[in-house]
């Protein structure tokens, strides 16, 4: 139930902001708006103010603003307050206002989210030097080794771990070239990223060289606190042996009542601390909760948060266009697309984590909605803009019949896409997927 409410909240805000953009620009240019609806189908609630009926409709998967004289088949009186009576420049502004409002909302919401502060992995903006290779992973099969510096993936240069993830995620189950550099020189290997999670996200099976960080005290023991270990310390080694979270726990568990020397890093400065694990339930513990990798805390001011939001939305935009191009070139599987059911699941999961996570998801979806609505597919805002641009180039208006055919083609494309994403969503529901005997 919470997931459904979170989904309706997110979708309601996004649709309202989108349609508000159309509505405000239409009113600004003197276009008479007949209906402002959240949702489609039968009207559940409605009220009329002036010439406009404001309503909430039964199918909450979108919305619309109905304008007087909006399409050639509408009954027209030739009045100046009709949509088609306006200049192409004015109509362009009205059409683009909806997607623009979604893009603006994405930036604003992400600014608010970032202004709250966040903890981010320290390795994300570091060069992708392989620090771990998962057993039986595509990377192991391809011969990727510890210490390899990944230079490019599928022809795309990657300078950070973040960029590596963006390059690999869309390419599940597709053989790609990975260019590596080590002490002996540069080489290229062919790797087929494995499909991970129900969203079929590509994964090479490599990770950075990371050390665990102390994030909280544990009530099981006070050994670490008594020895002077602080929250935020990064534990790099035990008795001179570099450790991951897993090996650190193993070594501590195997050393009850035995002093061990930990090499930690605090504020970038390494130092050694001797700690004696206490015996608890037949294993040694030092009483700390760990994160597998070091986290950096960011606490930006308003201007910095806005700048970071622009950068984040720019990166997301690049990933959206990469995915769209990948769908056209078949480099990206349609099985990675998410529809209404998937968004509802993601919204519910985000709401359980907290409002900051939910608003971060809202920002990402709003950006997607804004960009996708600008695609030159008839029936979408971008499609109407494209038709209008073609009319401008040809210096004549297309016939009603031609426009109807173009809109029908756009409708078929959109419905095909909708069927695809809903099918994807259903395959991610466990009990539904079991009924799909053909899978």
Other beta carbons within 10 angstroms of residue 217's beta carbon come to 15
pLDDT in tens, 351-403: 887 888 889 999 999 999 999 999 998 888 999 999 889 888 888 888 878 88
Q: Residue 240, by phi and psi: left (phi above 0), alpha (psi -120 to 50) or beta? A: left
Check whether 436 has a pLDDT greater than 70. Answer: no
Residue 3 has pLDDT above 80, yes or no: no
Last residue in a domain, options 208, 235, 264: 208
Residues 105 and 142 placed together within one structural domain of the fold = no
Number of compact structural domains in the chain:
3
What does the alpha-carbon distance between residue 79 and residue 68 come to, in Å, rounded to a whole number?
Answer: 9
The pair of structure tokens assigned to 384 is 């109407």
Task: Classify residue 195: in a domain, yes or no.
Answer: yes
What digits encode the pLDDT tens for the residues 322-350? 888 888 887 777 777 777 777 777 788 78
Residue range of the domain that includes 177? 121-208
Last residue of one domain, picked from the residues 148, 178, 208: 208
In a domain, 366, yes or no: yes
Identify whether residues 107 and 7 lie together within a single domain. yes
At 432 the pLDDT is 63
pLDDT value of position 438: 61
Separation CA 96–CA 94 (nearest Å): 6
What are the tokens at 205? 């099976």
* 261, β-bridge pairs: 274
Given the residues 19, 70, 82, 163, select the one marked as catalytic: 19
- Residue 338 is assigned to a structural domain of this protein: no
As a whole-number percent, the residues of the chain with pLDDT over 90 amount to: 58
Q: Does a structural domain hold residue 307? A: no
pTM: 0.82
- Return d(Cα 122, Cα 297) in angstroms, integer: 9
For residues 286 and 371, state if they share a domain. no
Q: What is d(CA 164, CA 169) in angstroms, rounded to the nearest whole number?
A: 9
237 and 141 inside one domain: no
What percent helix, strand, coil does the chain show, rounded to 5? 45, 25, 30
Residue with tokens 């390494």: 270
Same domain, 221 and 181: no
What CATH number did the domain enclosing 267 receive? 2.30.42.10
Residue 219, number of CB atoms within 10 A of its CB: 6
Active site residue 19: yes
More confidently predicted of 212 and 398: 212
Do 428 and 400 belong together in one domain? yes
In a domain, 174, yes or no: yes
Tens digits of residue pLDDT in 128-172: 999 999 999 999 999 999 999 999 999 999 999 999 998 998 888
pLDDT tens per residue across span 11-33: 899 999 999 999 999 999 999 99
Whether residues 7 and 111 share a domain: the answer is yes
Last residue of some domain: 183, 208, 233? Answer: 208
* Residue ranges of E strands in 239-311: 241-242, 260-266, 269-275, 278-280, 283-285, 288-291, 295-298
Beta bridge partner(s), residue 187 = 180
Residue 234 to residue 288: CA distance in whole angstroms? 12
Q: Mean pLDDT in the chain?
A: 89
Q: Quick one: pLDDT at residue 435?
A: 66
Same domain (yes/no): 107, 142: no
Residues 137 and 186 in one domain: yes
Residues 6+ apart with CB under 8 A from 12: 38, 60
Q: What is the pLDDT of residue 138?
A: 95
**Do 217 and 133 belong to one domain?**
no
Tell me, yes or no, whether 190 and 131 share the same domain.
yes
Strands 278-280 and 52-67: unpaired
Does 260 reside within a domain? yes
Residue 383 belongs to a domain: yes
How far the first Cα of the chain sits from its last, in Å, is 29
Residue 56 lies in a domain: no
Judgement on whether residues 273 and 219 belong to the same structural domain of the protein: yes
Beta-carbon contacts of 265 under 8 Å, excluding residues fewer than 6 positions away, are 211, 233, 234, 236, 271
Bridge-partner residues for 242, per DSSP? Answer: 237
């Amino acid at each position: 139930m919470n997931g459904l409410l979170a989904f309706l909240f997110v979708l309601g805000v996004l649709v309202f902001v989108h349609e508000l953009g159309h509505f405000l620009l239409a009113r600004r240019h003197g276009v008479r708006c007949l209906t402002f609806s959240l949702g489609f189908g039968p009207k559940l609630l409605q009220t009329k103010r002036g010439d406009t009926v404001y309503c909430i409709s039964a199918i909450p998967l979108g919305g619309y603003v109905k304008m007087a004289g909006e399409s050639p088949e509408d009954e027209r009186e030739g009045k100046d307050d009709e949509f088609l009576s306006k200049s192409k420049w004015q109509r362009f502004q009205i059409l683009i206002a909806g997607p623009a409002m979604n893009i603006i909302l994405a930036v604003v919401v992400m600014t608010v989210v970032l202004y709250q502060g966040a903890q981010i992995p320290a390795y994300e903006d570091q060069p992708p030097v392989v620090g771990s290779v998962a057993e039986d992973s595509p990377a192991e099969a391809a011969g990727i080794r510890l210490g390899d510096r990944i230079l490019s993936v599928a022809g795309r240069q990657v300078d950070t771990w973040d960029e590596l993830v963006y390059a690999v995620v869309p390419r599940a189950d597709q053989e790609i070239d990975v260019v590596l550099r080590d002490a002996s020189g540069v080489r290229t290997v062919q790797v087929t990223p494995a499909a991970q999670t129900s969203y079929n996200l590509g994964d090479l099976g490599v990770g950075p060289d990371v050390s665990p960080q102390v994030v909280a005290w544990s009530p099981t023991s006070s050994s670490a606190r008594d020895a002077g270990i602080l929250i935020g310390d990064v534990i790099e080694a035990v008795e001179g042996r570099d450790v991951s979270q897993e090996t650190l726990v193993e070594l501590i568990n195997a050393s009850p009542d035995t002093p061990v020397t930990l090499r930690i890093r605090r504020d970038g400065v390494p130092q050694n601390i001797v700690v004696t694990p206490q015996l608890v339930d037949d294993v040694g513990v030092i009483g700390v909760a760990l994160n597998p990798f070091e986290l950096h805390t960011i606490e930006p001011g308003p201007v910095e948060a806005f700048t970071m939001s622009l950068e984040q939305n720019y990166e997301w935009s690049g990933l959206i266009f990469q995915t769209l191009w990948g769908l056209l070139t078949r480099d990206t599987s349609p099985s990675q697309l998410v529809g209404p059911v998937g968004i509802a699941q993601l919204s519910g999961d985000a709401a359980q984590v907290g409002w900051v996570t939910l608003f971060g998801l809202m920002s990402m979806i709003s950006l997607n909605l804004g960009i996708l609505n600008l695609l030159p597919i008839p029936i979408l805002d971008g499609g109407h803009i494209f038709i209008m641009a073609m009319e401008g180039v040809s210096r004549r208006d297309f016939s009603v019949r031609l426009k109807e055919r173009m809109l029908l083609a756009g409708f078929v494309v959109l419905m095909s896409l909708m069927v695809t994403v809903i099918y994807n969503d259903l395959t991610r529901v466990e009990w539904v997927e079991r009924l799909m005997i053909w899978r």
